[in-house]
Amino acid sequence: MEHMKDSRAHLPSAILEVSQSQLQPLSASVLLDQELARKARLRRKGNLMTGCNELDDYVLLGGFERGSVVGLSAEEEELGLSIGLQTIARMLAKGPGKALIITTLPRTVVLLKLQKVLASQLKDPGGGKQKIKGCLERIFITTVFNIKGLWDALRELETAAQAAGTEVPQASATQDRKPEPEMDAPESGQRTRQRTEVQDTEGKVGFHPTESPLPQEPNESGAWHDDFPRSALPDIILITNISSILSVLFASCDKPTAHDTALLLSSHLHFLSRSPAYNDPLIILLNSTTSPFSQAFHDDAVTATDTATTIGEPLRQVMKRTEPTLSSIFEPTAAQQAAAHLPGQQQQPRQRNRPLFGQVFAQMLDLHLLCTRVPRTKEDAAAAAAGVGSGFVSQVWVVEVLLDEIGVYERLEAEENGALGSRRSREQRWAAVDVDEVGDGRVVDAFRG
């Protein structure tokens, strides 16, 4: 129990109050009424689209649902960032929404990408620059370096909710906090101040500095936060490089403590996404992937029982298996991998990447998408299997649903008997997409027209 005490030492008092409070039991009818009201509220607000038809219409069956936690595990985190920023840009271009980006990246890197994506969504030669500037004013960026910085960034939402006049649940009240122990801060070389605006020399579109002042020094967690407008609650919260934050967490404390902290973070993210006091935000977590045989932070591998004493080490390795919700449908089966090691077999099936941190990351999510590269055609697949260089193999991105805890209801209106209608799971649905490198960098259907 000592590690449980240590794991909570650096957490906000809001989380401690929630975890220590005695929750009163609720009847099933009350829970059903609450869920029906939440679904109706989310439907009125509408889903959030990526702008890629294959993703929105086929894979997601209508876009991302507000009030949920979505994970994007990408072989290259650049693709996950593109999908996240494209979703934000499309929301800002279509309405008055707001977004919060929590990132370990330099702010100028994120802003330059945002500028490019917004320009592709706002195709208005007459007023494009002014509209892009207006959209950027509704985006707030926080730079963090560790789990403590992430907690601090999420804490700002409480202040914004209270100032906006919404009734914040009492369990999450964070007034009169005592100073908290400091987590490991980044080296001084990392403390390079980042600005939130795109200067004239940094892009084709010139912007004036934002009116919100930046803090002169980083806070105790080594992070810089924008002065989050107290009247603004984001519709989307994008947390990039969550794998880097979790890596620091697992490297800086013992494994049980890290797991406890990750579990508390998961509970808090779900609390934020499901609370009307916080505007039912869509929370997107960007994760990376790892080789299935990598031992570093690979928490999902389970070794099968070895019943044969003559099996070689390579074959024992391919007998490793993962949870079904962590495996791609394009991943070679155990039988295919084992056959590749038999005498006379020269071709070895490509090993698929899997989400970094496995179930530790998956427990935080309502919807989990995996983004990996696959050969574009049969000829490309044959060339890849023959060991031809990657420069000669054309590839596309495949985005597939690994986990879907919420599903999509065919009918959101409650019937007289209180039913929601049939629920469709999106697990194992997938689509092929490309990044338009020669154009505006948007994520588009791979086989258009």
Provide the β-strand partners of residue 380.
none
Query: What is the C-alpha separation between 331 and 373, in angstroms, rounded?
Result: 12
What tens digit of pLDDT does each residue of 236-294 get? 999 999 999 999 999 999 999 999 999 999 999 999 999 988 999 999 999 999 864 44
Token couple for 103: 């990132």
Cα separation of 383 and 395, whole Å?
11
More confident residue, 145 or 194: 145
Residue of 386 and 299 predicted with greater confidence: 386
Q: 362, 397 in Cβ contact below 8 A?
A: no
Q: What is the DSSP letter of 231?
A: T
Cα–Cα nearest to 148, from 219, 216, 100: 219
- φ and ψ at 354, to 5 degrees? -130, 160
Look at residues 73, 71, 78 and name the one whose alpha carbon lies nearest to residue 354: 73
Average pLDDT, the chain: 75
Categorize the per-residue pLDDT at 394 as very low, low, confident or very high, splitting at 50, 70 and 90.
confident
Q: For 371-398, give the DSSP string.
A: EEEEESSHHHHHHHHTT--GGGS-EEEE
pLDDT at 207 over 70: no
Say if CB 326 and CB 359 are below 8 A apart.
Answer: yes
For 242-258, letters b (16+ CB in 10 Å) and e give bbbbbbbbbeebeeebb
Chain segment 174-192, per-residue pLDDT in tens: 333 333 434 443 343 333 3
Domain boundaries, the chain: 42-173+229-449
pLDDT of residue 144 exceeding 70: yes
Q: Which fold has domain 42-173+229-449?
A: Rossmann fold (3.40.50)
In 8-103, which ranges are continuous DSSP H helix? Answer: 13-20, 28-45, 53, 77-94
**More reliable by pLDDT, 440 or 142:** 142
Nearest to 190 by CA among 221, 226, 151: 221
Q: Binning pLDDT at 50, 70 and 90, where does residue 88 land?
A: very high
User: Cβ distance 234 to 140 under 8 Å?
Assistant: yes
Q: Is the pLDDT of residue 128 over 80?
A: no
